[in-house]
Structure 1
């Protein structure tokens, strides 16, 4: 758990590196993107920091809030990645393309780790999104279970327009949320999805004025931690498994989960 910084009255960060800050207040953790001057553009260093933040969560955490400083959530991948020089101490994307298939695959898999832990069954994750959420920024918002969007939000999947594909785990949740046809159209055109459409098609659970984003996120967080933790974990796992189970298999999964909950409530659990 983060310690209280008596100088500021706020919780000191557990982790603060490469544009990512993690703070923990009992059962709620907050991961903040902290490079507003570059509209929170993303890089391999930031992805490693996001992965490290996930690994640093104390066991007490039930809800993780993802937010960003400044006017934009994240403008996507820093274009420096496509220059011959790349980032200091990092292979450029051009160098990666010239390498072996195994190295390229392993490197992309490492980058994806920043986007995968948000759907762990033992936590619920909420992205508070304002301004631009483009490319990798859009995929980072999609990595979370829930999204609250400010009225000025602009989601866009630009990878295909640049000759690439969305490869940071965003395709699965996008199709799950909006359906194949709309997901294809959003990705291939690279157009902006604004707040009203995001709410209508299921990308955003809630849309609020920008000056109410923090308050709305706090309200949702408080609601999410009101139910008993084990019941939330079981419910999330049930819902996550729907797409891979038949109707009868889902019925069986519900029965097994409810049996565990009843035994636990009766004091008969393991």
Structure 2
């Protein structure tokens, strides 16, 4: 039985962590299955947006501590099976939306926050709990928290491991929207559909520039903006956008990523 399932809803691919009895904890087979699902979506020209979520009452509680042998060489485990997940989510041209349905803990928090948009159910919560088991943040948590909150607030969350309710995470700018649990799927699908209907080339270029802007000097960022604008202006999507504006209609962007 697969621990990661995919469901296609039009041009949107839902990737579902499906170990509800383990709160979607990540053992190595699950991490590898998740990576395969993400790469499959990235390579499929019909997929214009990806949604990552969990089944049951958790989004993902991070490393499965029952798989203790995986931490015998924790550095290798992170490098070989966690870092590739962060890399593909953050670098794939296709937008990735996290639908956080419940607990997002440790590496699960990292997987959610490294996505391009985060929609959370009111009951969802986030916890940087690595320190509680004598470990350090990984799966992109360090980068996202320090970038969004600064050193002091990020360090506080890391050393205390305290839980952030969805509303607080939203107030801190870590989450884009908080919705009732019963509306999470519908609201996420609406956001994903809007992204899927957008100009794929421009969205992909914007994602690349924003990821670069998080760490690169201004000179490098504005050079990347200029290069990207040259590509975008030559795309059929730009021509369609201008035509739609002139004709006072909604643009119909169909170019695959």
Name the TM-score class by shorter chain. 0.7 to 0.9
2:154 matched to 1:168? no
Larger relative contact order, structure 1 or 2 (CA cutoff 8 Å, min sep 6)? 2
In 2, distance between residues paired with 1:124 and 1:25? 15
Gaps of 5+ in 2: 240-257
In 2, distance between residues paired with 1:185 and 1:159? 13
The count of corresponding residues between Structure 1 and Structure 2 is: 235
In 2, distance between residues paired with 1:73 and 1:51? 16
2:159 matched to 1:188? yes
Greater helix content: 2
SS across alignment from 1:144:
coil
Gaps of 5+ in 1: 1-15, 83-91, 98-103
- The answer for the alignment partner of 1:78 in structure 2 is 64
Q: 5 Å matches for 1:21-32?
A: 21-32=5-16
Deviates more, 1:167-176 or 1:61-70: 167-176
Q: CA deviation at 1:44?
A: 1.2
- Tell me if the contact between 1:51 and 1:115 (Cα under 8 Å) persists in the aligned partners: no
- Structure 1 residues 226 and 190: CA distance shift in structure 2, 3 A: same
Post-superposition CA distance 1:65-110 (Å, at most 9, x none): 011111121223222123xxxxxxxxx146x24xxxxxx5443311
Post-superposition CA distance 1:193-246 (Å, at most 9, x none): 011111110111000111110111011112212221111111111111113332
- The answer for the alignment partner of 1:51 in structure 2 is 35
CA RMSD of aligned residues (A): 2.0
- The answer for the alignment partner of 1:139 in structure 2 is 110
SS across alignment from 1:240:
helix
- TM-score (ref. length: structure 1): 0.80
SS across alignment from 2:13:
strand
1:109 to 74, 79, 82: 79
2:172 to 184, 190, 201: 201
In 2, distance between residues paired with 1:203 and 1:22? 26
Would you identify which runs of 4 or more consecutive aligned residues in structure 1 move more than 4 Å? Answer: none
Q: Which is greater in Rg?
A: 1
- Tell me if the contact between 2:11 and 2:193 (Cα under 8 Å) persists in the aligned partners: no
In 1, distance between residues paired with 2:60 and 2:231? 41
Q: CA deviation at 1:26?
A: 4.6
Q: 5 Å matches for 1:174-253?
A: 174-253=145-224
